[in-house]
A and B are shown apart, each in its own frame.
Chain A
Amino acid sequence: MEAFNLVPWIVFLPVIGLLLNAAIGRRIGERGAALVAIGASGGAFVISVLQYLSLAAHPEGAVVPVADWIGIGALNIPWAFRVDTLSVTMMLVVSGVGTLIHIYAAGYMHYDVRYKEDVGSYARFFVYLNLFIAAMMILVGGDSYLMLFVGWEGVGLCSYLLIGFWYSRSPDGKHGILNSLAAKKAFVVNRIGDFGFLLAMFAIFWAFGSLNFDEVLPHAEAVAPWIIMFITLAMLLGVTGKSAQLPLYVWLPDAMAGPTPVSALIHAATMVTAGVYLVARSAPLFAAVPAAQSIVALVGGLTALFAATIAVGQYDIKKVLAYSTISQLGFMVAAVGMGAFVAGMFHLITHAFFKALLFLGAGSVILSLERAHHPLDGHHKESAHEEKAHAHFDPQDMREMGGLRKQIPLTFWVYLIGALALAGIPPLAGFFSKDEILADALAANPLVYVLLTAAAFLTAFYMGRQVLMVFFGKARSHPAEKAVESPLVVTLPLVALAALSVFGGFINIPGVHQFTSWLEHTLGHELAHATEFNVVVALLSTVLALGAIYLAWTLYGRQPLEAKQVDPLRKRLGRIFVGMENKWWVDEFYAWLIVRPYKRFAAFLADKVDWAFWHDWVHDSVIARGFRGLAHFLANPVDLGVIDGIANGLAATANGLAKGLSFFQTGFVRNYALVTFFGVVLMLGYLVFSS
């Protein structure tokens, strides 16, 4: 019970960590900075565990107020944390996976900052990472939509900062601005989603008069359905932005420009699931309008399949995982859309485990290739020169890998576990969660079930393709031949995540459904119904997954790829594969539909409206010329004519007067005397005769 009051520390601890690192991170060295950050994140995890233990005893949860925030009339929004089974689940995932990724990053960034020749950025990385944990905790722990929005924007900011972490580089490591552009893209696309979320919040406040969960969610029945419809659809726009769904998913693949731990933490495990959490949190609202639910489910299902097809055609090891993430997020969104909130949250957790594992594993692969390509140890300066002599080598291109299972066996094994978990092979984590979604889909929406099943098939295929391309066959490049296993600090989190990927599915195994009853305390019995285990569905998806893996093996395993060989799938699929390879030209389509017209419109505004109209015409012609005309008028007729006329007239008058008077000024003293005399005579005469 006491532990509930500790909940604000899940935010305070990372904030303390980031302030420490921001202030003295450069001085305490890499080890110190990493320890501070890991400590802060680990502390948040400990607090989360304490919350979990307290909740186990008091499942009704608590609301812990921290400070007043906005109080205007009837509106009262405090800073308050909400401890219930849903939020604590998210807290555990964020801080648990987050801490493991912090540990991993401590090792990974040690090399990365040296390859990027900017050692001072090490502490900066952990500042951002802790900031992200803090923002994410506000997001999941907040007691109102507004607080959730603060976290929502905070994680968006961190995402932006971390995608553009090497802001003066391009994804291939050379100097350029492509990383910054990717960060900008992520931010701008997310803003479109945020606009939807904002609209939803305004509508909620208008309809419910409050933004606190307790005053909104229980009253969904009392509000007109079309308003709820609007709220949920606007919210869906926010979800498509943050959770990378159609049509706003385009930022996530580009976000792979960030360092790999970032891709794992933010763009796979936690931040992108914020949309799923938002829908799960707003479950009563969505449950009130079935039409909106089916739209959400359809968006999720379409995204799952669409992204999976693109993932098949990618060569970049991280891009495959990025599209896989979009696809899996589609599964979750479809699940929460169908009302299978528990299944969605369940998949969110298991996905956080195995996708973080896969991303970190990919990072380990990249790292081992980088280290083989130009070793750091000892001859740092020389290797920097050597780098230029080397032929270009992209450590993320799967076509240049191959046969890595012998060089880096530990990474291979954990990666294999992650891939199998993602493919949905029993009894790994992904099997249980994905199957629960599929079983729910079959019951709720057969169309979505078909979409998701196809996506699941493709998932197993592209993971098989990736594992076979990366780890099997023979090395297709020089660095791949002498790849070196990553250090322990990198592999240890991988092992932990692999264990979670193996056993993570057991938190909600069919028949027992602990997780369902756990979430039932928050969602209520209606919304958190346990799904019957559907043997047919499970069997079918397992067979499909195994078949897809076999298919991948026939294409990529039986006859391993040669260096520079064209992808064998290209011959089989022809144009379709070209489409997959080029991401179905969605970016190009958006560029044609939105970006280029927008830029042209901006150019029109700048050149025509601003420059030609405002500057040339309004400023130059109207204002400047008018002013000049006025100045001319004031200078010539007014100043020269009137003012000078007055002055000159005065002078001329004085001059004329002086000329006239100078007649009297003869210069003869006797004249003056005579005048004085007559004057005296006159005055005296007047005085004498007037009386």
Chain B
Amino acid sequence: MVPVSYYFALSAILFALGALGVLIRRNAIIIFMSVELMLNAANLLFVAFARTYEALNGQIYVFFIIAVAAAEVAVGLAIIVAIFKTKQSIDIDEMSSLKG
């Protein structure tokens, strides 16, 4: 059986990749995907610990997170479509009209 630390490391790598994506990419879709990556890193860790300690709580949390992520994607994609309609672009750096 694969030890839990392996999952832990994989999850950390996935989370770091997601965060890095959110921070440095300018394409809104990519950022969205990176956010999904971070969420799924968390999911992986939840499931791994649930299996290790044979407790169902972690798995239930995962379901919640998946549901929330789905809802978030729905809202987020709608926002991106609305942005594209007004700006003809989905470059995040162009969304800076609220600055002082």
Contacts and interface: CB of A to CB of B under 8 A. Distances in A.
A673 interface: yes
A674 B23 contact: yes
A667 interface: yes
Interface string B78-100: 00000000000000110111111
Given A665-B99, A665-B100, A677-B22, 19 more contacts: A658-B100, A662-B100, A665-B98, A666-B96, A667-B96, A667-B97, A667-B98, A667-B99, A668-B92, A668-B93, A668-B96, A669-B92, A669-B93, A669-B95, A669-B96, A670-B26, A670-B92, A673-B23, A677-B23
B74 interface: no
21 contacts: A661-B100, A662-B99, A662-B100, A665-B98, A665-B100, A666-B96, A667-B95, A667-B96, A667-B97, A669-B92, A669-B93, A669-B95, A670-B23, A670-B24, A670-B92, A670-B93, A673-B22, A673-B23, A674-B23, A677-B22, A677-B23
A655 to B, nearest CB: 12
Nearest to A658: B100
A673 B22 CA distance: 8
A662 B96 CA distance: 13
A666 B99 contact: yes
B19 interface: yes
Interface of B: 19, 22-24, 26, 92-93, 95-100
Contacts of B97: 667
Contacts of B95: 667, 669
Interface string A654-686: 000010011001111110011001000000000
Nearest to B24: A670
Is chain A's interface secondary structure helix, strand, loop, or mixed overall? helix
A665 to B, nearest CB: 4
Interface in A485-509: none
A673 B96 CA distance: 14
Interface string A181-193: 0000000000000
Contacts of B26: 670
B98 to A, nearest CB: 6
Contacts of A658: 100
Given A669-B95, A670-B24, A677 B19 contact: yes
Nearest to B96: A667
A183 B96 CA distance: 98
A662 B98 CA distance: 11
A668 B96 CA distance: 5
B63 to A, nearest CB: 25
A667 B24 CA distance: 15
A682 to B, nearest CB: 14
B54 to A, nearest CB: 27
B48 to A, nearest CB: 20
Interface string A268-304: 0000000000000000000000000000000000000
Contacts of B98: 665, 667
A661 B93 CA distance: 20
B18 to A, nearest CB: 11
A668 B92 CA distance: 7
A-B CB proximity, top 6 nearest: A667-B99, A662-B100, A667-B96, A665-B100, A669-B92, A665-B99
A662 B22 CA distance: 23
A483 B26 CA distance: 133
Nearest to A680: B19
Nearest to A662: B100
B76 to A, nearest CB: 13
A398 to B, nearest CB: 111
